[in-house]
Amino acid sequence: MNLQDLPDMSDALKKVQQFDEKKKLDPVGKEDGDVDNDGDKDSSDEYLMKRRKAIGKAMKKEAYTVTNADKKGNTPAYQNYKKGMKGKDGKPLYKAADHMKESGMSEEEIENIERISQEFDAAMEEGSAYGLTKGTGKPGGAMKDYLDKKAKKLEAEQKKQKPEYRNNPAFGDPSHHSNAKN
């Protein structure tokens, strides 16, 4: 295929670029009546203006919904919900999502469980469930028991060895070069 055989597309590109320039949004604070930015002010623009106004009004009336994610993240919305923050009209600004009400427990019971859980988490040290205690560098609990048993087993095996093997760890060690089989 030869490049000279291709049609000239520069006019089409210019039309597309002009169309894109017309579709740009109005700068903030300088909005005009052409809401949909189609180049004219018509009934569709009036419809969109009324719709935006109605949505804005409904949003002001309805309380913000607080979810379990807000609760877990302890977001400002959740904190304000817990405080019982109210709007200028005296109505609550925040409401609990439906899934937050499903537990069947009272607020006090839920708060009590959360408090106990937080106290437990604070009391647990990292690795303590595995027998490692933080900061000492020494094993404790289940890990200590395991290591003690292993040490006793190794001592018993060492006592069974011949004296020359017992005194020199290189004897009898298959990884040592003097014991390699040629």
pLDDT surpassing 70 at residue 124: no
If asked whether residues 63 and 110 sit together in one domain, one would say yes
Average pLDDT over residues 150-157: 89
The per-residue pLDDT for 112 is: 86
Number of domains in the chain: 2
If asked whether residues 99 and 142 sit together in one domain, one would say no
Average pLDDT over residues 84-95: 80
Question: DSSP letters along 109-141, please?
Answer: HHHHHHHHHHHHHHHSPTTGGGTB-TTT-SB-T
- Enter the tokens of residue 138: 């020494």
If asked whether residues 85 and 115 sit together in one domain, one would say yes
Question: What pTM did the predictor assign?
Answer: 0.29
The per-residue pLDDT for 27 is: 67
pLDDT band at 162 (very low <50, low <70, confident <90, very high): confident
Average pLDDT over residues 22-35: 68
If asked whether residues 133 and 118 sit together in one domain, one would say no
pLDDT surpassing 80 at residue 81: yes
- Within-domain flag for 9: no
Q: Report how far residue 52's alpha carbon sits from residue 43's, in angstroms, rounded to the nearest whole number.
A: 14
- Within-domain flag for 114: yes
For 63, the domain range is: 48-123
**149 with 142: CB under 8 angstroms?**
no
Question: DSSP letters along 32-79, please?
Answer: -S-TT-SSS--HHHHHHHHHHHHHHHHHHHSPEEE-HHHHHHT-HHHH
The per-residue pLDDT for 182 is: 59
Average pLDDT over residues 2-23: 72
Last-in-domain residue among 100, 123, 146:
123
